[in-house]
Structure 1
Amino acid sequence: MIAVGRKYVFDFDSTLTRVEALDVLAEMTLQGRSNREEIINEIQKITNLGIDGDISFTESLEKRIKLLKAHKNDLEGLVTELKQKISKSIEHNKEFFQNFSDDIYVISCGFKEFIDPIVEEYNIPSDRVYANTFKFDGEGNIVGFDEKNVLASHNGKIECLKRLDLDGEVQVIGDGYSDYVMREAGIADKFFAYTENVHREKAANNADHVAPNLDEFLFVNDLPRKISYPKNRIKILLLENVHPAAFDNLSEDGFSVELVQHSLSEEELIKKIKGVHVLGIRSKTQVTQKVLEAANKLLVVGAFCIGTTQIDLESCKQKGVVVFNAPYSNTRSVVELAIGQIIMLMRHVFPRSTEIHSGRWNKTATNSREVRGKNLGVIGYGNIGKQLSVLAEAIGMRVYYYDVEDRLALGNAIKCATLEDLLSVSDVVTLHVDDNKANKNFIGNREIGQMKDGAMLINLSRGFVVDIEALVSALKSGKLSGAAVDVYPEEPRSNGDFITQLQGLSNVILTPHVGGSTEEAQRNIADFVPNKIMDYINSGNTVDAVNFPNIRLPKQSNAHRFLHIHKNVPGIMAKINEVLAKYEMNISGQYLSTDSEVGYVITDLDKEYNKEVVKALKKVENTIKFRVLY
């Protein structure tokens, strides 16, 4: 319940705004000064000393104003600048300030000249803003401040709040020493350390509660807010040395993110997964049914790679856990490696390199051929296969392709009706098939026997699609004149020793599953997958989900959004709408998508809702997951 008579006292700088206003004013007024950076750094240093209570506020203010050399006319520009720097969560919870303005006060050691016009837009009148005021000389230069103002003195906020003598529970929301001393002095009941813009250890250590954003403050106080559950309470676990940009992207959006450099075993993950809302992995971590049973809060799994065989997709679906991957982000990287390997194999570069590394000079053209005019057989004509087809044709190769699905040819590529047709005509065969278990030993003795004598094989897809013993036999007998392998039937969980029968064979390029491992690809994945995760958590979008019905949703500003995942059985929508009708909810939009097993319905409502409606929707028969988004 919302406490009757509760009062909320907000700081201004670094709380309502993302910045310290005098620092911004300094940057504006010192333009063109040769020592501008030096002075700004000094002002920021003085600001921090005052905020942390290491020097008196009066001293801090005097020193900064002397360094500023500002004019009255600069204040209009400062206000314009500050309006662009309102704290993000403050801005999207503007309705709170408008609806509770009678209970909101601003007590700041800043200045009314720039605070009043900012907070006025949040329905906070000037008579509930307590701050310092500037002194101007006859020419309008800022020369000081009103020293009689209680807020100009050290611990002035304490005296200011005492004089206000507010009824009811008083809560202070701020980021510095001058804020938490009000609670220490016994005139405020609670202090919330506001850390959205700056995290000050002294303030956090002396807080009743740390609020990384206004959503958290409103959630703790059970006050109306833009989103139902603060993002800082959503825990994200990223494993396997996912690119740090993923950590940055998710952290900047407000989530609590933990980064682990390595993969976890099933047992380790079962212990770690409790309380985690989002799990990010690459190819080594196995998300099994046992892991999912232990995952009491899991909403999303993000695979920072193409393949998803390491994830029990069916169990995820049954648990209402949405899975996203990165099907396109490393396409170019894989294609470039394939092109490089084709050229290296055709030119027999690696045998020549090995010879010269061991001190042998063997200048010869034997078995060294151009790729121009040769036939490339592409097995699997998806994103990678198609792009490889285009680049291979650009360097003069004739491209043939085979795919179990009907795929339109790009450029002059020729579609083969059967796998045998492709194998029999290709000088180089490159594999780009998916991770379907039915593809195990897709290339074995029979298929290799159908290839041209002296042909070459490249596998950048999945380790299990090639029978390694059959490949080794063909290379040793001379049936195949070369191979490039990047993936293996069994791969270690971490870097270290590795053994394969392919080691030591001439004209065989072996790489440790690095087809998509370029800085560019990892960065692309670190942008793509987090965006999908954030889109689902923030709005309910499931576009590009691997295991879930896809829904693209419009953003809503003045509505509540309910997300309901259920078993796909008849009558669920009717039951959901019966509940909404019972509680007289007005539906402004409703979106449903289903597959053979689950249904996903999003309902937008344009009025306040009774908390009982949530309980009733959760109790609808065959419900898997229910979430109030905002």
Structure 2
Amino acid sequence: MNQTKYFIIDFDSTFTQVEALDVLAEISLKDNENQANAIEEIKSITDQGMDGCMSFRESLKKRLDIVNANQKDLPELVDRLSKLVSPSFQRNTAFIDKYRDQIYIVSNGFKDFIVPIVSKFGIKEENVFANEFIYNEAGAIIGFNEENMLSANNGKPNQIASLNLKGEVFVLGDGYTDYEIKKAGLAHKFYAFTENVRREKILNEADHEAPSLDEFLFSQKLERAHSYPKNRIKALMLENIHEGAIQRLKNEGYQVEIYPAGMTEDELVKAIKDVSVLGIRSKTQVTKKVLDNAKRLLSVGAFCIGTNQIDLNAALKKGVAVFNAPFSNTRSVVELALAEIIMLMRNLPDKMSEMHKGKWNKSANGSFEVRGKTLGIIGYGKIGSQLSILAESIGINVQYYDLEEKLALGNATACPSLEHLLKSSDIVSVHVDGREENKLIIGSNEFELMKHGVVFVNLSRGHVVDVDALARYIENGKIHGASVDVFPEEPLSNDHPFQSPLMGLKNTILTPHVGGSTLEAQENIADFVPSKIIEYINTGSTTNSVNFPNITLPTLSQAHRFIHIHKNEPGILAEINNILAKHGINIGGQYLKTNDIIGYVITDIDKNYQEEVIKDLKLVQGTLRFRVLY
């Protein structure tokens, strides 16, 4: 027979995000020139009391003496604290409502401000145990009721003992006085609540850490707002991803681990095991071997345009959604390409190098305007087409070649073949994606077809150009100037060496894969990619995923959402619906999309169902991944 569960919850820094007396001091001392020092002293005394370094009664007396507050300060205090209720308590009102008879607020704070706040959440006034202020005739707070057992040392254990609770007692709090209940043998478990403050000394004494109320409710399998605690979602961010993205994920409640460089396959295999979200840029290879070792991975974020560094099919078969930033750094790459074209046409790289060596070489030899020249763009996608527009605006004639039929922008013209483009262009700029078919599309044969004195630019992918051949054609004078931002092999970090046959060549610009590395681009990426990952985890929406069937879902409301990812085989949807029918479950909404490899089914149902249905759905043949959202 299940025992009744009782929940003992602290108020300061647990139910609310702050210590109430600290806030009261801000109010009562607002006209005091020593307010800042007084508040810091109060916080120091609070911490000593919470860590068990000072007796509670001594801590309380010292703080009240400094606060010097009045009864008229309390309405403002209640108003402020009401806005500072811990977020996880605000969203889990269903738990509070269901267990209101078994929830007790036991606090060393004061009923005077606690009751008005917790009663709004349905917590009974008779279940609030706290201290009481004593006022003088003018309403000044001159002390506290010293006969109240919570005003004394060891007050919380004594208060719980007096309640004589028959059942399992769970304590949720952030301070030593909360741990004392468990220490006295009056609680089944003590959870150190760390959503607002983390006290290492208290964590060492706790049975469990509760980074939020969601974590406590999940561990006890109780009514909760979130199907899975966000603090259990671990994100690993590699390659110096912008701080904005890190903060976005932290604000969502995820554990975020940062690694400043790329990782080798073996390093990532070791690191990926418990990771739910992986963030990379261009250097880290997410291979099948890596994905096979990812036990909890939900999503990979490529904080760049390309995704050729990720085995998209292996990710798909694993049920891992991949998101990138297809538009966020387009402008940055285009601006660099255009700037480098102008610099190469003017032979500036050599002139700049000579100036740094003290050589003044003022000459027009080998320097040309770009106006009237023909730019051949290989790959007329997001970057190629935007380069087309900007180049044309400064008088360059534009032509392009793409495997797919693309609508020409402005006065650009499509070339019937790559050979035609190479033979007729003064400048050749490569902007293809990283698919395997594009490997070495520019080599000796292609360089041989180009005009003598051509300018060559590659800001796309390192493996699309034969760099040894490029070096030969720069050295023999066929290529007037070259700019390369991407290389077949790139260092994992800034601390690793770089080698290339292009180093030291005349009129050659080498940049360390910085085409999209502007603050504006990185800020855009840092906002876009995490937003898509968070949306996928929270709702199941796969909009802009590069490997999953794209589906945009409505916001989930008063329902549970079943996410079923399976091999794209006949009959699976029918089997899913048969299982739901067998369990008497009515479907509120259902969404299905497939590609060649997987089927993605989302089913919204009423919140009341038996757990057996989940077990049955996971056993459907061909299931790759199943999860529940609410």
Q: TM-score range by the shorter chain?
A: over 0.9
Q: Which residue in 2 is equivalent to 1:321?
A: 320
Q: Is the 8 Å Cα contact of residues 242 and 304 (structure 1) preserved in structure 2?
A: yes
SS in 2 for 1:276: coil
Q: Distance in 1 between matches of 2:428 and 2:34?
A: 65
* Counterparts in 2 of 1:390 and 1:133: CA distance versus 1, 3 Å: farther
Asked if residue 79 in structure 1 is aligned to residue 78 in structure 2, the reply is yes
The worse-fitting range, judged by mean Cα deviation, of 169-178 and 490-499 is: 490-499
- CA shift, 1:372, in A, is 4.1
- The alpha carbon displacement at 1:33 in A equals 4.3
Alignment partner, residue 443 of structure 2:
444
Task: Give the whole-Å Cα distance in 2 for the aligned partners of 1:41 and 1:340.
Answer: 54
Question: Aligned-pair distance for 1:185?
Answer: 1.6
Question: Which position in structure 2 is the counterpart of 1:625?
Answer: 625
Partner of 1:613: 613
Q: How far apart are the structure 2 equivalents of 1:195 and 1:496?
A: 39
In structure 2, give the amino acid aligned to 1:140. Answer: G
Deviation of 1:421 (Å): 4.5
> Does residue 23 of the first structure (1) align with residue 51 of the second (2)?
no
Partner of 1:486: 485
How far apart in 2 are the matches of 1:453 and 1:544?
Answer: 42
Change (3 A) 1:201 1:469: closer
Is the 2:101–2:124 Cα contact (8 Å) retained in structure 1? no
Q: Larger deviation: 607-616 or 129-138?
A: 129-138
Greater mean alpha carbon deviation, residues 537-546 or residues 381-390: 381-390
Counterpart contact for 2:560–2:607, Cα < 8 Å: yes
SS for the counterpart of 1:102 is: helix
Q: Could you list the per-position Cα deviations for residues 512-562 of structure 1 after superposition, in whole angstroms to 9, with x for gaps in the alignment?
A: 222223344334333332222222222212111111111212222321111
Counterpart-to-counterpart distance in 2, 1:528 and 1:232: 22
Give the deviation of 1:565 after TM superposition.
0.5
Displacement of 1:231 after TM fit? 2.1
Give deviations 1:417-442, integer Å, cap 9, x for gaps. 44345444433222111012111222
Which residues in structure 2 correspond to 1:489-500 (within 5 Å)? 489-494=488-493, 495-500=495-500
Whole-angstrom CA distance in 1 between matches of 2:68 and 2:410: 67
Give the conservation status (yes or no) of the 8 Å contact 2:428–2:455.
Answer: yes
Q: Tell me, yes or no, if the aligned pair for 1:286 and 1:311 is still in contact at 8 Å.
A: yes
How far apart in 2 are the matches of 1:437 and 1:240?
A: 24
**Counterpart check, 1:601 vs 2:601:** yes
Counterpart mapping for 1:172-251 below 5 A: 172-251=171-250
Q: Match of 1:589, as an amino acid?
A: G
Bigger drift between 101-110 and 113-122 goes to 113-122
Q: Which residue of 2 aligns with 1:570?
A: 570
Q: Please name the residue that 1:99 is paired with.
A: 98
SS in 2 for 1:526: helix
Q: 1:37 and 1:339, CA in 2 relative to 1: closer, same or farther beyond 3 A?
A: farther
CA offsets per residue over residues 83-134 of structure 1, 9 Å max, x none? Answer: 2222122221110000011111000111212211221122111100011222
| Alpha-carbon offset, residue 394 of structure 1 | 4.2
Cα deviation digits, residues 243-264 of structure 1 (max 9, x gap): 3443332233222232233333
The amino acid across from 1:535 in the alignment is: E
Which residue does the alignment assign to 1:516?
516
Displacement of 1:603 in angstroms is: 1.1
CA distance in 2, matches of 1:283, 1:31: 52
SS in 2 for 1:229: coil
Q: Distance in 2 between the 1:360 and 1:461 partners? A: 34
**Map of 1:310 onto structure 2:** 309
Measure the CA separation in 2 of the matches of 1:423 and 1:297: 48
SS class of match (1:367): coil
Seen in structure 2, the aligned counterparts of structure 1 residues 471 and 580 have a Cα distance that, compared at 3 Å, is same
- Rate the CA distance shift 1:10–1:474 in 2: closer, same or farther, 3 A: same
Partners of 1:31 and 1:586 in 2: how far apart?
A: 58
Q: Structure 2 length as normaliser, TM-score? A: 0.94
- In 2, the alpha carbon distance for the partners of 1:402 and 1:85 equals 59
Q: For residue 583 of structure 1, what is the aligned residue in structure 2?
A: 583
Partner of 1:467: 466
CA–CA distance in structure 2, aligned partners of residues 87 and 14 of structure 1: 8
- Whether the 8 Å CA contact 1:541–1:553 is kept in 2: the answer is yes
- Farther off after superposition, 188-197 or 327-336: 327-336
Correspondence 1:348 to 2:344: no
Instruction: Give the CA deviation at 1:493.
Output: 3.3
Answer yes or no: is the 8 Å Cα contact 1:176–1:202 preserved in 2. Answer: no
**CA RMSD in angstroms, aligned pairs only:** 2.2
Q: Which moved more, 1:607-616 or 1:554-563?
A: 554-563
Are residues 623 and 374 of structure 1, via their aligned partners in 2, closer, same or farther at CA, if it must alter by over 3 Å?
Answer: same
Residue 396 of structure 1: CA displacement?
4.3
From the superposition, tell whether residues 56 and 333 of structure 1 become closer, same or farther in structure 2 (CA, over 3 Å): same
Other-structure match for 2:428: 429
**In the alignment, structure 1 residue 170 sits paired with structure 2 residue 166:** no
Code of the residue aligned with 2:294 in structure 1: it is: A
Whether the 8 Å contact between 1:134 and 1:145 is mirrored in structure 2 is: yes
Instruction: Decide which moves more: 13-22 or 262-271.
Output: 262-271
Map of 1:131 onto structure 2: 130
Equivalent residue, structure 2, for 1:150:
149
Hey, what's the Cα distance between the residues in 2 that align with 1:81 and 1:416? 67
Stretches of structure 2 lacking an aligned partner (at least 5 in a row):
none
Query: In the TM superposition, what is the alpha-carbon distance from 1:590 to its structure 2 partner?
Result: 1.4
CA distance in 2, matches of 1:422, 1:74: 78
Structure 1 residues 579 and 276: alpha-carbon distance in aligned structure 2, compared to 1, 3 A threshold: same
CA contact (8 A) 1:585 1:607 kept: no
Secondary structure, counterpart of 2:108 in structure 1: strand
How big is the shift at 1:6?
Answer: 1.5
* Range moving further from structure 2, 234-243 or 545-554: 234-243
CA contact (8 A) 2:565 2:600 kept: yes
CA distance in 2, matches of 1:507, 1:32: 68
Structure 2: how far apart are the matches of 1:68 and 1:378? 71
| Aligned residue identity for 2:388 | S
Q: What is the SS of the residue equivalent to 2:548?
A: coil
Corresponding letter in the other structure for 1:193: A
Percent of aligned pairs sharing the same letter? 56
Aligned to 1:66, the other structure's residue is in SS state helix
Match of 1:266 in 2: 265
1:12-50 Cα shifts (integer Å, max 9, x gaps): 111111122222233334445443333322222222222
Q: Distance in 1 between matches of 2:446 and 2:342?
A: 23
CA distance in 2, matches of 1:137, 1:314: 75
CA–CA distance in 2 between the matches of 1:136 and 1:381? 78
Q: Identify the residue that residue 359 of structure 1 maps to in structure 2.
A: 358
Report the residue type matching 2:512 in the other structure: P
Secondary structure of 2:71 counterpart: coil
Q: Is residue 280 of structure 1 aligned with residue 272 of structure 2?
A: no
Equivalent residue, structure 1, for 2:544: 544
Moved more, 152-161 or 396-405: 396-405
- Check 1:30–1:344 CA distance in 2 against 1; reply closer, same or farther (3 A cut): farther
Change (3 A) 1:334 1:30: farther
Deviation readout 1:261-314 (Å, 9 max, x if unpaired):
333333333333323322222223222222222223222222222222222111
Which range moves more in the overlay, 580-589 or 233-242?
233-242
2-side partners of 1:364 and 1:25: how far apart? 75
Shift of 1:73: 3.3
- Tell me how far 1:464 sits from its aligned partner: 1.8
1:586–1:607 Cα contact (<8 Å) kept = no
Following the alignment from structure 2 to structure 1, what is the Cα–Cα distance between the partners of residues 411 and 35? 62
CA distance in 2, matches of 1:146, 1:323: 60
C-alpha deviation, 1:402, in angstroms: 3.1
CA distance in 1, matches of 2:449, 2:172: 75
> C-alpha offsets along residues 369-406 of structure 1, whole Å, 9 cap, x if unaligned?
34344433332222222333343344444433333333
